[in-house]
Amino acid sequence: MSQTVDRALSILPLLAEGPANLEQVATRLGVHKSTALRLLRTLHEHGIVHRQPDQRYRLGARLFALAQQAVENLDVREIAHPHLVELNAQTGHTVHLAVHEEDEVLYIDKVESRYPVRMYSRIGKPVAITVAAVAKLLLADLPEPERRSVAEGLDYPRYTARSITNSSAFLAELAKVREQGWATDLGGHEESINCVAAPVHGPDGRCVAAMSVSAPNVVVSADELLTLLPLVRRTAEAISAEYSGKTPPRQSPSEASPS
Amino acid sequence: MSQTVDRALSILPLLAEGPANLEQVATRLGVHKSTALRLLRTLHEHGIVHRQPDQRYRLGARLFALAQQAVENLDVREIAHPHLVELNAQTGHTVHLAVHEEDEVLYIDKVESRYPVRMYSRIGKPVAITVAAVAKLLLADLPEPERRSVAEGLDYPRYTARSITNSSAFLAELAKVREQGWATDLGGHEESINCVAAPVHGPDGRCVAAMSVSAPNVVVSADELLTLLPLVRRTAEAISAEYSGKTPPRQSPSEASPS
DNA sequence: AATGCGTATTGCAGGTAATGCAATGAATCG
DNA sequence: CGATTCATTGCATTACCTGCAATACGCATT
């Protein structure tokens, strides 16, 4: 809509790949160097990009700070966190919290496994939307037309032999998940990783977030992981109840600031 | 430099405070609603802002993803991480890694304490630059004129009775830190929290990052924490050596992706 | 030092594209 | 059903963005 802003914002993903100098930015943006310079200057003034000693540009600190503030303002996260910690304490496995936004599903909180074999994931990172258990729950909750249109607009990478690889299979899976009220991913993303997930509902019944417990085969088998399902569902329901104001918020642990 | 981009970017910190509707954005930006709308649309197309069901705008998912990628491209972080984990395993305390950028010092990595009493901090968040041990190290490394000008441009909030509250005291502290090659914060930010920190040097000898171990008084006294200093310094030097290519990188632990 | 090369930066004139206005939709509420 | 509020659109005006070309800067080479 706004050409100038559009160009400026297009610089960001470009810099996310790694540092670049003025000429590279100008070329990849398809504009004159002087134009790129002015855009970069403006981004720089706002701290969105940073200039390295070698004059190349990188994404800057304020971007972190913004993302930070944004994630802290998500009230589901705030409420859910102690529950995630507790679930982690009870099971020992990695616990994730995810939300749906703009055709992406992304982790907004995580508590690490106590086992030495960890899985790679990061808060803020989009999940494998076609296979992740949390993604299934969040998409399954969409109204039919939107669910269909989203499903048909996705790519279906074949991460493993057990990945879902087309929209009709995905929609069928979503229907099943919608029906049963929980979801799994059994080796659909990484051959050796299984997850069970349950939905967090808002006061209007819509699914506002989903949480999952993930563990590699080498620690527990899929069957064993499934025995945790009732616990996961209870936890998700506790979060839902609190989020909807049906339960008083829990006492939060003491916190202070370091240097 | 570019008015349009400038205005668009000014929306971000505004939305970071919390969701806002079109009129609020337009008012706080000092522009007509239609102008604000077009800016928000452009931000929206790029996923930088998100539109809630109630039509209000929030910071969006792509912002996280960008911040994510940015932090992952910091190679110091990559190298340092296993060392931080190890230091945490050895001490049990919270370990931070921080860098200096554009008059701010911010955490880029963190390993949580094993003790129940945790401290509040988040990756991406600027630190209390006038008192934090890591900030002292990073600023102490600047060349004299810049160090002075930065120090004089700072605010000196009195977090506690032990906070540094003026630029000359700060410069004196920096001189001391520069001399001794390590830094502390003994209750300067939070009365009951102490930290010891050591610098990570690049191949050219410049201080590229700083790491710290932080613990509350209730867990260990300041004196006890200081006994960890040699360990902290050794760890920082190990990171420096590896970062400068003087040591082969360590084997990273097995990692896989969850759902 | 002086020269040359590759960048980054600046001033300027032309014209596009951003702006504000006013009118229209859409949605909520009494 | 009318009134109110807020988002959205079309349009005329001109501010601001753009690309060009000239200049300055940093760095290496001799």
B178 within a domain of the structure (yes/no): yes
Residue A87 has pLDDT above 80, yes or no: yes
Is residue B54 domain-shared with residue B108, that is, in the same domain?
Answer: no
Is residue B27 domain-shared with residue B136, that is, in the same domain?
Answer: no
What is the b/e burial string over B189-203, where b = at least 16 CB atoms within 10 angstroms of the residue's CB? bbeebbbbbbbbbee
Residue A253's pLDDT is what? Answer: 43
Largest distance between two CA atoms of chain B: 62
A36 within a domain of the structure (yes/no): yes
Higher pLDDT, B250 or A137: A137
- B39 vs A contacts (CB less than 8 Å): 2, 5
Q: Could B39 and A253 be called an inter-chain contact, meaning their C-beta atoms sit closer than 8 Å?
A: no
Residue A120's pLDDT is what? Answer: 63
d(CA A153, CA A101): 15
Supply the CATH number for residue B156's domain. 3.30.450.40
Is residue A45 domain-shared with residue A151, that is, in the same domain?
Answer: no
Taking all residues of chain B, what is their mean pLDDT, rounded to a whole number? 88
Residue B255 has pLDDT above 80, yes or no: no
Residue A250's pLDDT is what? Answer: 52
Residue A254's pLDDT is what? Answer: 42
Contact A255/B at CB under 8 A? yes
Is residue B61 domain-shared with residue B81, that is, in the same domain?
Answer: no
Over range B52-75, report the average pLDDT. 84
Closest CA to B40 of B30, B32, B50: B50
In this complex, the answer to whether residue B21 has its CB under 7 A from any atom of chain D, a nucleic strand, is yes
Q: Which domain holds residue A57?
A: 3-66
Is residue A7 domain-shared with residue A60, that is, in the same domain?
Answer: yes
Is residue B43 domain-shared with residue B120, that is, in the same domain?
Answer: no
Is residue B123 domain-shared with residue B176, that is, in the same domain?
Answer: yes
Query: Which residues 152-191 of chain A have a CB within 8 Å of chain B?
Result: 185, 188-190
Tens of pLDDT along B94-134? 999 999 988 889 898 888 887 765 566 677 778 999 999 99
Is residue B82 domain-shared with residue B55, that is, in the same domain?
Answer: no
Q: Could B101 and A16 be called an inter-chain contact, meaning their C-beta atoms sit closer than 8 Å?
A: no
B249 within a domain of the structure (yes/no): no
Chains A and B: how many Cβ contacts under 8 Å?
254
The whole-number Å distance from B29's CA to C10's C1' is 29
Compute the nearest-CA separation of A215 from chain B (Å): 8
Which residue type occupies B47? Answer: G
Is residue A106 domain-shared with residue A220, that is, in the same domain?
Answer: yes
Q: Could B192 and A256 be called an inter-chain contact, meaning their C-beta atoms sit closer than 8 Å?
A: yes
Query: Mutate which of A1, A5, A51, A72 to test chain B, going by most B C-beta atoms within 10 A?
Result: A5
Q: Which nucleotide is nearest to A32 (CA to C1')?
A: D19
The whole-number Å distance from A207's CA to C29's C1' is 28
Is residue B53 domain-shared with residue B83, that is, in the same domain?
Answer: no
Instruction: From A66, A88, A117, give the residue that closes a domain.
Output: A66
pLDDT-based confidence at residue A117 (cuts at 50, 70, 90): low
In this complex, the answer to whether residue A34 has its CB under 7 A from any atom of chain C, a nucleic strand, is yes
What is the residue whose two structure tokens read 């808002």? A202
Is residue B214 domain-shared with residue B135, that is, in the same domain?
Answer: yes
A255 within a domain of the structure (yes/no): no
How many structural domains compose chain B? Answer: 2
Contact A89/B at CB under 8 A? no
- B104 vs A contacts (CB less than 8 Å): 61
d(CA B121, CA B128): 11
- A259 vs B contacts (CB less than 8 Å): 127-128, 131-135, 185, 188-189, 193, 195, 197, 212, 214
* Least confident among A46-50, A147-151, A164-168, B204-208: B204-208
Residue A10 has pLDDT above 70, yes or no: yes
Contact A204/B at CB under 8 A? no
Residue A129 has pLDDT above 70, yes or no: yes
CB neighbours of residue A146 within 10 Å = 10
SS3 A232: helix
How remote is the C-alpha of A102 from its chain's centroid?
A: 12
Residue B136's pLDDT is what? Answer: 96
What is the b/e burial string over B48-73, where b = at least 16 CB atoms within 10 angstroms of the residue's CB? bbbbeeeebbbbbbbbbbbbbbbbeb
The whole-number Å distance from B44's CA to C25's C1' is 22
Query: Mutate which of A64, A71, A88 to test chain B, going by most B C-beta atoms within 10 A?
Result: A64
Q: Could B185 and A42 be called an inter-chain contact, meaning their C-beta atoms sit closer than 8 Å?
A: no
Supply the CATH number for residue A33's domain. 1.10.10.10
H or E element at residue A225: helix A222-226
In this complex, the answer to whether residue B22 has its CB under 7 A from any atom of chain D, a nucleic strand, is yes
A118 within a domain of the structure (yes/no): yes
